[in-house]
Structure 1
């Protein structure tokens, strides 16, 4: 943009210079040169000076405009990432300045809406606490349906295949070996389903614990039950509004459940940090990954996690590909006083690894 501005300024300067010379010459204000060499020399000097001045002005103007546009773009990128604490700088009184002012008003309204969403989420969490018994009953019914639809069918298929092995073992040994391998595979799938269902038998709410405490207990319990290397890095000083903590806890439950069911991962990592005025939750595994398309959104619980993140005014990103593992990045801005900085100044963190 700077070079284009310089080129346009040089051309405009030369045009205006030529126009002024023509007018002055037309009315006889310019005396003729004594010889052609003097004319060419003076003309080239004047043209050079005009071109340099025009280029300098174009560079200054283009740099100023580019710098303001970069500030505007930087503010928009922070707004897109959910960082609402960074104000839009003053960009002047022209069109760019008015766009900056409008973006600032949008940021303020977005901040108010996120704050309202978080207050609403906290109120919903309080209502959910009062209806805890009903939620537990509903969760048990859901788990019972999943046990019937998933594990029960797998066990029935294993039973039928085992019966078939008994009939074909003496007749067709190779076929029997294939059936035994199929039984092993179905047993592994059923085991993964059971582990995922056991994960959901955790309490629906954190029951007064901080998010980091609840997640640590969940991961320690999971580490003792599944053959996956689990590492975590959590800032234990983080204290959030109850609605946000409950949603993040359930999102982690859903993500871990999906990992156990589908990923075939051998390593898993979870991070909970507060780098600035937002919470960053990262969940990563080295599993098989998957294609991000609309069909997978339902089967992998992605839509459920997106809805929970939207309810607390956050942003979620899925990074995955077949054979490349899966990474889930969640950012939630903290605007309310309850979600303010409650660190004890020590910056304590807990790191564990399987």
Structure 2
């Protein structure tokens, strides 16, 4: 589609250039003939040859000029498009280059002003997030109570129901064991399956029995402790890598910690995965987080967004001016990609911008 649009633009520019050169040539010939600078050509064949040569010369010049103009316009539009793509990926530090003084240049200046305002808003969001983290510390007791109430509801809704079903099925096994041994075997298999589900639910809930905040630790330290605790309880392989030297404001660290905690919980409760991969990198003022598992995946719909806490994760990432993307399908595992612009608290600019 882009190649077709580019071809159309080049063709249109060539046509406009040829038309312009023919008009200029015709005006020039008319003026030269009017003031006697051109002598009549007695031979009609020689006149025809001269006219054809002049025509093709003008067409060639017009086509060359049109191609040159289309290349200039295309190059400036590509620079604008590359910058807008970087903005879309969450890197507002990329500034539009100088695009000239024509309409495209003025459009670039206006987009540059919009980009600077957006960068200021992202910086304000992150400072606000840090302030919110400090205020939330004062409300820590109420947050813990609320978390315990939520866990109690999940225990009742998920684990308690599973245990009740296991109890009822176990009672049925005792009644059918002597009458129908095959049916009793199926009931025992069902009990094993329900026990595994209940165990996964319990592990996920235990994962949430963590401090509400990182309690003075940096993100890497908190995540490594969380992963270590998880691997003690769950037979899952976790490959974790984080660039050294990453230092984030407290508001971003708290939100990222809770987002990754929720992602791990989802993997335990729903994915049936045996391996998880976590990568955290910082490049050119942009923090990138990738979380991937080899589980069963799922269809991304409104019901799953509610039950998997995806909307909560989206809200948290919005609060720090980032972007999050879910890539999943049944049987294909799940991949979560997060990008957050890393701002300097004092200047409001990206940390790597200097």
Q: State the TM-score, normalizing by the size of structure 2.
A: 0.91
Of 305-314 and 227-236, deviating more is: 227-236
Q: How many residues are aligned here?
A: 342
Is 1:12–2:47 an aligned residue pair? Answer: no
- The 8 Å contact of residues 238 and 341 in structure 1, kept in 2 or not, is answered as no
Is 1:122–2:135 an aligned residue pair? Answer: no
Match of 2:49 in 1: 41
From 75, 97, 106, the equivalent of 2:83 is: 75
Map 1:1-354 to 2 at 5 A.
Answer: 1-18=9-26, 20-21=28-29, 30-337=38-345
Q: Distance in 2 between matches of 1:168 and 1:94?
A: 87
Q: Distance in 1 between matches of 2:149 and 2:306?
A: 20
Q: State the TM-score, normalizing by the size of structure 1.
A: 0.91
Deviation at residue 175 of structure 1 after TM alignment: 2.1
Unaligned runs of 5+ residues in structure 1 are 343-354
Of 133-142 and 46-55, deviating more is: 133-142
Q: Distance in 2 between matches of 1:276 and 1:320?
A: 28
- The 8 Å contact of residues 124 and 243 in structure 1, kept in 2 or not, is answered as yes
CA RMSD of aligned residues (A): 2.0
Q: Distance in 1 between matches of 2:244 and 2:101?
A: 46
Q: Distance in 2 between matches of 1:293 and 1:39?
A: 75
Of 28-37 and 41-50, deviating more is: 28-37
Unaligned runs of 5+ residues in structure 2 are 1-8
Secondary structure in structure 2 of the residue aligned to 1:92: coil
Distance 1:27 1:177, change over 3 A: farther
Deviation at residue 36 of structure 1 after TM alignment: 2.7
